[in-house]
Amino acid sequence: MDKRYDVIIVGTGAAGLYAALSFPKDVSVLLLSKKELTLSNSSLAQGGVACVLDTIHDNYKLHITDTLVAGKYKNTLKAVEKLVEEGPADVLHINALGVDLDRNPDGSLCKTLEAGHSRHRIVHHKDSTGKAIVDGLLAYVQTLPNVEILDNALLYSMHKTLGGFYLSVLRNGESRYFGCNYCILATGGIGRVYKYTTNSAIATGDGIAFAYMLGAKIKNLSRVQFHPTAFAAAENRERFLISEAVRGEGAVLLNCEGKRFAHNYDKRGELAPRDVVSDAIIRESLRTHSENFYLDITHKPADFLRERFPMISERCLEEGVDITKDWIPVFPCQHYLMGGIDVNLNSETSIDGLYAAGECAHTGVHGANRLASNSLLEALVYSRTAAEDITRKLRRYGRKPLGLEPAHRPITGSKMPSGCRSQIREILQDAYFVLPKPEKFEESYKKVEEIIEKLFSESYEITSDLVEAKSIAVVASIILDEVREGQQ
């Protein structure tokens, strides 16, 4: 073993970073990121963080109700209450630590409206809130003497012992071995299981796959959220998001004939929750036999749009679309995972010493559908909770011996079979997109199982490609198994 720590956190998104800074200075922490430290879904978040800061025009009960309505009342009520009631203090805390949030001339934090929210309660940094959060938290964490950070450090295997965990990490083509009493998985989402996604390249569900292979309970992995308005002209796999806030500021959705249609499917129209709007677009697409859809916000003053949505304006301009004059082409794509590694209110998984927080975790707050801007809030509240719970345990039980270190297999081996990742992406995109095709579940599941068989049957050379292919295969298989079981 190269080194042992009290805690290893896998992931440097909002959840990993906030967990790291929530430990007292006598707890040793290692933070791992498989690529650059800022490459994550957190960095891509545009809209903001939902939280009740103004108790005159808003209150916890309203935020809880909005969350439950969006989640179709499939949420875990206690988890939602904790999110809503504890979240505001975390948002104020990150702001105090240096995360820059937009303010009104009177000094109060700006709050905007997003789909599914009954009040203006989304705090933001222009349209690049996630980047502001990651940059602010990372700058702070880098000053902490008890936290070591390793970038380009890919977790490729986890071993559970009586006292904790041994983690194998691939860095610069070499293996490194670390031990810890407690481990927090903050590895983010699963977007790369799909052909088109808004997610970062790191979103391959690694933490979920490792937790599953250790025997942790995984819950509701088939609760995948599709964002209705990703920029649709580019053929890139990572689709650029036209945030809900654009509709919150008055953009309307148009079909291929240039006509509004969202109200024909739900009376909340463009501001209905994401699943409802995605559903409306796909049904309208089937009706019109066209995949051409647009957002129109040209009625707003150009200066306002450039100031309010600088990143979106710029990205659209790069694609030849001037949002002050042109309709923005949009279509749904994979965006978020509501399910994940099942955790309790302390962020503990079903495995002793293993915690999960952020998008890879299933706290139950989102139910069947996430309310916009609740996920960064969840990442903050539940990662801090994990750190607090681990600290309590370290105080009570002290540092435990880790137990026997496993034999490590060499990273060399034969070359992995090619094409597995694209096959899985095609399978999921076809069988389980916005309007699922139940008749394809069984066959799709069998195909993914064959790919798993291929990937796990031999000692291939350990590369990031292999680790990620295995992760997306395991994730796809759990999703398809869940939906096909639901069919029976």
Ligand X SMILES: Cc1cc2nc3c(=O)[nH]c(=O)nc-3n(C[C@H](O)[C@H](O)[C@H](O)COP(=O)(O)OP(=O)(O)OC[C@H]3O[C@@H](n4cnc5c(N)ncnc54)[C@H](O)[C@@H]3O)c2cc1C
Catalytic residues: 274
| Amino acid found at 213 | M
Smaller CB distance to ligand X: residue 128 or 444? 128
Measured from the CB of residue 350, what is the shortest distance to ligand X in angstroms? Answer: 19
| Amino acid found at 15 | A
| Site size with ligand X, rule: CB under 6 A | 43
The yes or no reply on residue 206 touching ligand X (CB under 6 A) is: yes
How many helices (H) and strands (E) the chain has is answered by: 14, 16
The yes or no reply on residue 248 touching ligand X (CB under 6 A) is: no
Strand partners for 174: 171
Measured from the CB of residue 471, what is the shortest distance to ligand X in angstroms? Answer: 7
The yes or no reply on residue 128 touching ligand X (CB under 6 A) is: no
The yes or no reply on residue 63 touching ligand X (CB under 6 A) is: no
CA distance 428 to 360: 19
Among 28, 41, 95, 225, binds ligand X (CB under 6 A): 41
- Applying CB under 6 A, the span of 36-44, 395-403, 423-431, 446-454 interacting with ligand X comes to 36-44
- Provide CB contacts within 8 A for 90, sequence distance 6+: 18, 377, 380, 381, 384
Nearest C-alpha neighbor of 18 from the set 382, 276, 312: 382
The yes or no reply on residue 186 touching ligand X (CB under 6 A) is: yes
- Please list, residue by residue across 25-51, b when 16 or more beta carbons sit within 10 angstroms of its beta carbon and e when fewer do: eebbbbbbbbbebbbbbbbbbbbbbbb
CA distance 78 to 372: 19
Are the beta carbons of 208 and 33 closer than 8 angstroms? no
The yes or no reply on residue 168 touching ligand X (CB under 6 A) is: no
Axis-axis angle for helices 77-97, 129-141 (nearest 10):
70
Smaller CB distance to ligand X: residue 45 or 386? 45
Among 71, 164, 329, 358, binds ligand X (CB under 6 A): 358
The yes or no reply on residue 241 touching ligand X (CB under 6 A) is: yes
The yes or no reply on residue 47 touching ligand X (CB under 6 A) is: yes
CA diameter of the chain: 67
The yes or no reply on residue 339 touching ligand X (CB under 6 A) is: no
The yes or no reply on residue 482 touching ligand X (CB under 6 A) is: no
CA distance 377 to 83: 7
The yes or no reply on residue 40 touching ligand X (CB under 6 A) is: yes
Q: Restricting to residues 309-338, which ones interact with ligand X according to CB under 6 A?
A: 336
Binding site for ligand X (CB under 6 A): 10-16, 32-35, 40-42, 44-49, 129-130, 153-155, 186-188, 198-199, 202-203, 206-207, 241, 336, 358-359, 373-376, 379
